[in-house]
A and B are shown apart, each in its own frame.
Chain A
Amino acid sequence: MNIADLKEGERGIVEDIVHEDIPLKLVEMGCLPGNEVLMMQRAPFKDPICIKINGSVIALRKNIAKRIMISKI
């Protein structure tokens, strides 16, 4: 499962990222394997989504969120 599958308020742990497809900026902001991610909110029309990771609240589009594999907790 990936980040985009989480419902609002659910948490997961980042397992794997496809690094060719993920902007370096996202990785540097803490989107790394092992970090906990919290789905904060989806924008109207379900895209983009807003997550909390590594202490930062970040908005990203679904197409990128789908590249970040997680396991739910």
Chain B
Amino acid sequence: MTKVKDGINVAVVGNPNTGKTSLFNALTGLKQKVGNYPGITVEKKTGSLKLAGGRKAFVTDLPGSYSINPSSADENIVLETLLQREKSNQPDVVVVVADVMNLKRNLFLLSQVMDLGFRTILAINMSDQLEKRGIEINTRKIEEAFGCAVVMISTKKRSGLKALKDKIQESHQHAMPFIFDLEHQDKEIYDELHKIFPEASSYQAWLCLSQLDNIRILRQEEIDEINRFKSNHRTDIKSIQHKETIKRYRFINQVLKESYSRKIENASGLKERIDRIITHRFYGYAIFAVLLLLIFQSVYSWASYPMDLIDMWFAQLAQLARTTLPPGQFTNLLADGIIAGLGGIAIFIPQIAILFFFIALLEESGYMSRVVFLMDRIMRNFGLSGKSVVPLISGTACAIPAIMAARNIESWKERLITILVTPFTTCSARLPIYTIIIAIVIPEKTFAGIVNLQGLTLFALYFLGFAVALLSSYFLNFILKFKTKSFFVIEMPELSRPLLRNVGQTVYQKTQAFVVGAGKIIFAISIVLWVMSSYGPGKEFKNAEQIVTEEHKSEDGNLENKIASYKLENSYIGIVGKSIEPVLRPLGFDWKIGIAIICSFAAREVFVGALSTIYSVGDSDDNIETIKSRLEREVNPITGHKMYTLPLGLSLLLFYAFAMQCMSTLAIVKRETNSWKWPILQLVCMTGLAYISSLIIYNLLK
């Protein structure tokens, strides 16, 4: 949050499932930016809006949280933002989003925010549900008791938003702190904290002491002083926190007694019945399995049409560049390097968008938490938590957000194992490789009219990913010795029909962030690759034309193709590829695949782009050609047959199923585990497993 002259900084906080993000979307529309918090990769969503009278407000959507006291890394953000010390970074107004059903628990967070002394507005969402659920709320009484502005809103019906915007401008400061009272609870700590933080309020200072490990805004000398104090005095932090909680609820209950009434306890019997079925000991698992199958099947079948289109567009674009631009190095770089490389990433936008769509649907509807509930006991056998299901499923889109989703797992051991095994799940970066290899080596057959052999292979690869992830967890559970208590608490929000507007926005943002992030790497690598493959050291590269012409003197016809591939072999990249070929030969890979593997160490999806760059450099034809047909045409120089046979295809598939070919994941694991030990272990074990399994399958089938 950076202060802009005359603008108002607004922070939006609230419990999960209150419609906090819907409100944020409704307020800012598409004027949003997704960035990262400095130092960590939690998404930071900011947006702006115009208020009546022309003033601007800058809104930040903070992660969902039940309390200011964080119980996960996501929730740390809320605390840190609210404890910001620099005036210019502090929010001017905090909007606490609540919903009509869980008002009591929402007011708990409100009371904490208000104790910090912010200008606060309580926005009570889902006001369209009041009548249906027989709820009556007297907002004026809440306003009086808490001393903050209260607005009833409905993000679904888009009502109350204007009133909220007006309050953002008008509402006034209140007296603070009003519930938290350390002075009477523990005078000794109170005095000491006042000495360390003379300018802070007692609640701010208390949070610095009790959440010392979770915040990074303190100066070193302050941390030292707190630690010194802690080692000299046995303070029972938890006991003070419990007393604080009781006190807050006592106040809230008092207020609600006069301002809140609910006539109908359960509004819908249907929802309860659905809930029973999806968590049933038999149907529950069956429904979950069918859902997963459906998702993966539709990712494959729905995405194939737009993918073919994108593939063709890029081929045409490269062709267009070649025919319209004057021939030369720049045109070559553009057509063979950049367009070919970017085509390699654009092609899997459909798949990743469809996956994010389904995941957003599962989360928005509240189904995901049922799965967590259903799977916890089973996952515990593997040393995981029910909450590990979310990272494992999200891992099918991308391991990076998935590993971050493990942050809400309370037990460190369960969280660590989840982080370590999540990269085994079939992420969307593997999909372009799988899709293209499957299309080439697996015959397009259909059984019983519905089961498609290619689709089945893809499903088998998904299954393999999950199976290996679970198996590795099982071993890790034995090997890792930690003494941690395993906590597990999760709210089960009421099932609800997902708002398509929200789902759409999530899909758009996530896909965009992913494509831009991966696109940058691919763009850079494409250029490096092109340079390394278009230039070479030594005489062989320079005199390629002469050498090839002399060698094939007796033959007629066009030697251009032979010259081009001779050039590639002797280029810089060819030399690198050839030098690692001996290691890869047993797996059936040649030096061209070797180059693609090296390049795709940065990110798997580079593989297809790299191959297509390599092949188009070694290709002097001006035909419009798709990546697939280029690979299909490739001939094995040793056997003289097709290069991409079934054994090579399966060997490649297994290699990419297991190998840790993703630098960003390693970086995120390092950050989440705070040590190099775990990412290195991951790299060695996963790539080792990949090598061995490819070696076995290739030599068995060869």
Q: Which residues of A come within 8 Å of B, CB atoms?
A: 19-21, 23-30, 32, 41, 43-48, 50, 54-61, 63-64
Residues of B near A57 (CB, < 8 A) are 491-494
Interface residue stretch chosen among B84-92, B368-376, B557-565, B601-609: B368-376
Instruction: Given the known inter-chain contacts A55-B104, A59-B492, please indicate yes or no for A32 contacting B245, CB distance below 8 A.
Output: yes
Min Cβ gap B382→A in Å is 14
Residue of A nearest to B385 (CB): A61
Question: Is A58 within 8 A of B66, CB to CB?
Answer: no
B386 adjacent to chain A (CB < 8 Å):
yes
Question: Is B279 within 8 A of A48, CB to CB?
Answer: no
Instruction: Given the known inter-chain contacts A50-B373, A57-B491, please indicate yes or no for A28 contacting B67, CB distance below 8 A.
Output: yes
Min Cβ gap A9→B in Å is 12
If over half of A's interface residues share one DSSP class (helix, strand or loop), that class is named, otherwise mixed; here it is: mixed
Residues of A near B249 (CB, < 8 A) are 30, 32
Interface residue stretch chosen among B235-243, B419-427, B617-625: B235-243
Kindly identify which residue among B71, B239, B276 contacts A23, using a CB–CB cutoff of 8 Å: B71
Question: Is B492 within 8 A of A48, CB to CB?
Answer: no
Min Cβ gap B155→A in Å is 21
Residue of B nearest to A46 (CB): B377
Kindly identify which residue among B103, B238, B373 contacts A48, using a CB–CB cutoff of 8 Å: B373
Instruction: Given the known inter-chain contacts A48-B377, A48-B386, A54-B104, please indicate yes or no for A28 contacting B245, CB distance below 8 A.
Output: yes
B177 adjacent to chain A (CB < 8 Å):
no
Question: Is A56 within 8 A of B102, CB to CB?
Answer: yes
The listed residue with most B CB atoms (<10 A of its CB), out of A21, A30, A43, is A43
Whole-angstrom CA separation of A54 from B246 in the bound complex: 13
Q: How large is the interface on B (under 10, 10 to 19, 20 to 34, 35 or more residues)?
A: 35 or more
Kindly identify which residue among A21, A45, A58 contacts B491, using a CB–CB cutoff of 8 Å: A58
Question: Is A24 within 8 A of B491, CB to CB?
Answer: no
Question: Could you list 18 examples of A-B contacts with CB < 8 Å?
Answer: A19-B239, A23-B487, A25-B69, A25-B489, A26-B489, A28-B67, A41-B279, A46-B377, A47-B376, A47-B377, A55-B104, A56-B102, A57-B494, A58-B490, A58-B492, A59-B490, A59-B491, A64-B489
Instruction: Given the known inter-chain contacts A55-B102, A56-B491, please indicate yes or no for A25 contacting B376, CB distance below 8 A.
Output: no
Kindly identify which residue among A44, A54, A55, A59 contacts B489, using a CB–CB cutoff of 8 Å: A59
Whole-angstrom CA separation of A65 from B241 in the bound complex: 20
Residue of B nearest to A61 (CB): B488
Residues of A near B66 (CB, < 8 A) are 25, 28-29
Kindly list the 4 A-B residue pairs having the minimum CB-CB distance in the complex, ordered from nearest. A44-B281, A45-B377, A57-B492, A25-B71
Residue of A nearest to B377 (CB): A45
Whole-angstrom CA separation of A20 from B241 in the bound complex: 11
Min Cβ gap B491→A in Å is 6
Whole-angstrom CA separation of A53 from B280 in the bound complex: 22
Instruction: Given the known inter-chain contacts A28-B108, A32-B245, please indicate yes or no for A23 contacting B489, CB distance below 8 A.
Output: yes
Whole-angstrom CA separation of A63 from B369 in the bound complex: 20
Question: Is B492 within 8 A of A44, CB to CB?
Answer: no
Whole-angstrom CA separation of A43 from B374 in the bound complex: 6
Residues of A near B486 (CB, < 8 A) are 61, 63
Contact residues, B195-245 vs A (CB, 8 A): 238-239, 241-242, 245
Kindly identify which residue among B242, B246, B487, B491 contacts A29, using a CB–CB cutoff of 8 Å: B491
B101 adjacent to chain A (CB < 8 Å):
yes
Min Cβ gap A71→B in Å is 19
